[in-house]
Structure 1
């Protein structure tokens, strides 16, 4: 790619997606704090409306904690089939503008509109049109970030939430990054942010002062990525279909989980995400891997392979349940769970091809 080539990338993110769908379909929930998930003692919040977020309720939070923060919280059981249908509607709108669509989850995607199907020069206009079409066809709002790379577009989409959009132009990239706390950077988790803070790195400007050698010494291979994003650089393309070995999704919980029903509830959104990809692409896998990160950040995996591809969501859930059961008795609380499929095939080709579900 030429150094003078400038991409036009949009990051589209639905606003409080699951909760907003529930409020749309049930007028009694509108304007009220809503949590999608289990209300029982060992439930977990899968998503929270903006009204609930004002009380500090967040996804992956235990239901008991959420209720303490917001006693008026209304719990609604998730309807993943409905969310998937809405997601397909939204992606059909994206496809009117570009074939370069890289879904991150049911409610989030990157679009490369540098060369778009409507031959519009303005990515800002495209984002505005897409958001208007989403509202007209689904009665749901979306926020957008527009920039010249994926990293900045992702950051920008948070700036006008909900129901807004924000642009970071090429001449603004460096200044935009330098004023942000490193914990706001996509790809810098809480543990890495804490380590950076211990090293005296608090902002993008602090990060940019570090040499590539120092960052690689402290953070390994990720150091190269941190060196680049501190300079507002991200050369990853938006890929609509890429050759990969696995597809996966994971969730970090607001509080550590210790009970078997909690772990199953916490794993469900990731299971839904992975199976939605399988349904959309026709690609299936033979090996399922459960990723577990404990409260002390020790990480383990448990895997199981089948003779033929896992044929259904029920079969995937059954295997996941068995893998979760194998963790007990738990040595300590669980802060993250993830599930991935590998040994992929689409029936005709040995190698699977996937859209990225998580980063």
Structure 2
């Protein structure tokens, strides 16, 4: 059953990151399309879109009318674009694009042609007024319906249809086809969701009922993050601060932690079978594992001192390639 925007907002405010993922999927290309319509550069538009959704997550609890999420997102996007213009001394979008799109000497012929096409498309779109341009981009970038565009821009359906007619009258049929294809090829994909979730400002965050399997997290700060009822099987964490993080009811099977700050963490009711920990060092208080399946887990070059392990399955656990059972047996014989 499809949730309304108000229902999704309520779920996100309660920590349901699946609901936030749905919101990103629903509105990412709308936000991105508006930013592109105002700035004229796909890369900058993606940066703006990321900024919008990171701020959206933090501000959703303060949203007075969650049923008007769509038009609120447009307002946030417009403000972000205005801030960008101020910080870039109000350069025109096309001037900025020309600087951003200077071909690299080593670019292939295909890359050069693609950049030339993007410039031609923007020149055509730039013949439209901003209001008509944004409606046209939203219509073609991700097959948004007239009603959806109207809700996002806080317009009537009649106004959207009128702006589309004006745009089509100005742009030739051949150029409309080129615009359609170019926008579709450059729309945001599911990879954008991962970029938002990996933003370093999404720290001290609650991840609840989320599927993160096979994801890769690299060189970010996830300090004081709370994971609950999350599937992160096969996920890789590399060079990340995850100190003071809590994991509860997590599928961490085959997860790999490499050079990750895992001190003062609490792991409970989780399955870590065949997980891999490398170069983990302790600072401050120790770590706590309670009621966890640690069978087959490997620890390499890790500081395991002051680790509190309670009611856990430790069968097949190895430390630097040596069975934990053998290490414990050797330790007991020395006593």
TM > 0.5 between the two? no
Bigger helix fraction: 2
Alignment TM-score, normalising by the size of structure 1: 0.24
- More relative contact order, 1 or 2 (CA 8 Å, 6+ apart): 1
Alignment TM-score, normalising by the size of structure 2: 0.26
Bigger strand fraction: 1
